Chains A and B, each alone.
Chain A
Amino acid sequence: MATMKAQPAVYGIMGEFDSPEALTKAVHRAHKLGYRKMDAFSPFPIEEINETIGPHDTGVPRLVLIFGLLGAAGGFILQSIAAWIDYPINIGGRALNIIAWPAFIPITFEAGVLSAAFAATFGMIGLNGLPSPYHPVFNVPGFDRASQDAFFLCIEATDPMFGGASGFLRQAGAVRVSVVEH
């Protein structure tokens, strides 16, 4: 695999574990030992690991709130401009001002939800740095089982304690430890 310039020669050290429990233990231990630049890989989300490794603030809820409110406001403003300002038409004797707001609530709500849902989806994808079809971890042998039935912990080269990573992983019960190349 091609090597990236101006970066450490390796991406990190990857340890493979045979069960979610083993991985969870390893992660807890690594965290306790002070490893920070690390990531776990599993075929399904494991709550304890996510809480340990994942960012405290995922950023998604904030996005959803902001976009939801913007969408709702946009929906309401669009309707009020159309119905009251741009071309006010007498429709069944209904008031042509804010008094008649209830009729505009459904669309306001839907616009808010739509916008929020887009924010949640694309916020998650974007913040996760996806799409990234290429990633160094894919170079690890046996990593294709990470989406099936294998559990991995990768300590990245940028971690200050990277030097002892390999030893730590073996000690933590990894069945296999490999170097992750760029």
Chain B
Amino acid sequence: MQQSRGLQNTAGTEKELSPFLGPELNYTGISEKLGGIPLTGLLKTPPGWIVAFIIAFTLFVVYLVSIYVLLLFGVGVWGINIPVAWGFDIINFVWWIGIGHAGTLISAILLLFRQNWRNSINRFAEAMTIFAVACAGMYPILHLGRPWLFYWLIPYPNTHGLWPQFRSPLAWDVFAISTYAIVSILFWLVGLIPDFATLRDQAKNRFVKTIFGIISLGWRGSATHWHRYEMASLLLAGLSTPLVLSVHSIISLDFAVSQVPGWQVTVFPPYFVAGAVFAGFAMVLLLAIPVRAFYGLKSYITMEHIDVMSKVMLATGLIVVYGYSLEIFFAWYSGNVFEEYLLTNRLTGPYAWIYFGLIFCNAISIQLLWFRAVRRNLALVFIISIFVSIGMWFERFVIIVMSLHRDFLPSSWDMFIPTVWDYSLYLGSFGLFFTLMFLFIRFLPMINIFEMKMFLHQAREKDHLREEAAASAQAGD
């Protein structure tokens, strides 16, 4: 039995089949490497992981405490007020959900575009999507004055004889976010089924075997199944693509549908989607770079991956910058005193430093990515990704707080000053995110095993064809 393993090693040529694949990869190796991480015995957990997890969990406790305080006293523990009735809650909500978008983009849109290099990062990115959506999804509930009544936003036959008000973008949000969360989870779980089977077969421990046996649903790699499976994946990708575009569009409608100067902007839907992907790729890079180093996954997430992701970040970043310039143009072109003031306020108002911070982070810092050398410098890419994450947070601050704090009537102008509970809930949401993320990294295959093998297979076939073509060309000479 053991000897059969060597069969798949087509001569140790170790030649580079694709820039996205390490040269030494083979089917057996992929299984062992990627399946080996979740199957590591509990006692053999790397200490680095434990330390990281403890930090994340501590932050998660901060999150729980913040929520407790919030429920005890009310949203008044935050710095929000009239006119700035939305503060960190909605900023963080939009920020987190934006981050989630990269995952769906990688798993769905790139699948449709047949970008095979996505195979090495899609699992990871999808998990990030789900956890980011979980972080985001908590905010709309927590930001309510009476969060325990959040279920009134869901249509169900009730004794009041009342329904939600479906014209409200917030009602759309409920559907958009829950659909997004559910579809993302489905997509993720579907992708996990064959990997669960791999782990089932790889596991030595009877109990672990049984668990993976149950959740792999008895997957046996049948071609019939694969056929239907591929079709379902394709369809899910096809559904996810408009879904992911609609989700951030709908979230942008929270603003675009209103009348507030700075919110009522027609360019918002595409601009939000681009911004989301932008922030999402930054986050993928932020997670991938250290994890890749820690678990020695350089053959799976190669320099080429970093390079390509940086390019995507640059491209979406430029779309976002285009959005900023349009906002400025519209403010001027509208001739509307409120829109004009909005611009004045962004440039010279009390929060101007945030606006300039945003421009620096999102427009200027990414220009470095034009250079190949920068894109292949992990430290620089990591730093730029941090800037982008901050910049996108600033962008939401600019949109939400800076539009609200000085709107139509100068009499109601006021400032928004965040309190410690604003910060702690934000910080705490990282706790939730990373706690889930670390658990995922530890207990589930963080890179899609079967897709990696498929990628390798396809790369070999391509290589084979190339060789044949070369051979026949030679023969023809």
Contacts and interface: CB of A to CB of B under 8 A. Distances in A.
Direct contact between A and B in the complex (CB less than 8 angstroms)? yes
Interface of A: 16, 18-20, 27, 39-46, 49-55, 58-61, 64, 68, 75, 78-79, 82-83, 86-87, 89, 91-92, 94, 100, 103-104, 106-107, 109-111, 113-114, 116-118, 120-121, 123-125, 127-128, 130-135, 137-138, 141-150, 175-176
Contacts of A18: 4, 7-8
Interface string B206-245: 0000000110011111111111111110011001101100
A138 B218 CA distance: 9
A168 B10 CA distance: 25
B466 interface: no
A43 B250 CA distance: 39
Q: Counting chain A CB atoms within 10 Å of each CB, which of B167, B197, B242 scores highest?
A: B167
Contact of B232 (A87, A110, A121, A150): A121
A175 B228 contact: no
| Chain A residues touching B, majority SS | helix
B454 interface: yes
A86 B167 CA distance: 15
B1 A54 contact: no
A49 B235 contact: no
A130 B223 contact: no
B244 to A, nearest CB: 10
B203 to A, nearest CB: 10
Interface of B: 1, 4-5, 7-8, 10, 26-28, 31, 155, 161-167, 169, 171-172, 175-176, 178-179, 182-183, 186-187, 189-190, 193-194, 197-198, 200-202, 213-214, 217-232, 235-236, 239-240, 242-243, 246, 250, 253, 449-451, 453-454, 457
B231 A124 contact: yes
* Chain B facing A: main interface SS: helix
B241 to A, nearest CB: 10
Contacts of A54: 223-224, 226-228
A91 B176 contact: no
A35 B176 CA distance: 48
B427 to A, nearest CB: 31
A111 B161 contact: no
Nearest to A121: B186
A19 B7 contact: yes
Q: Which 7 A-B pairs have the closest CB atoms?
A: A54-B227, A18-B7, A82-B163, A124-B232, A131-B217, A45-B226, A149-B27
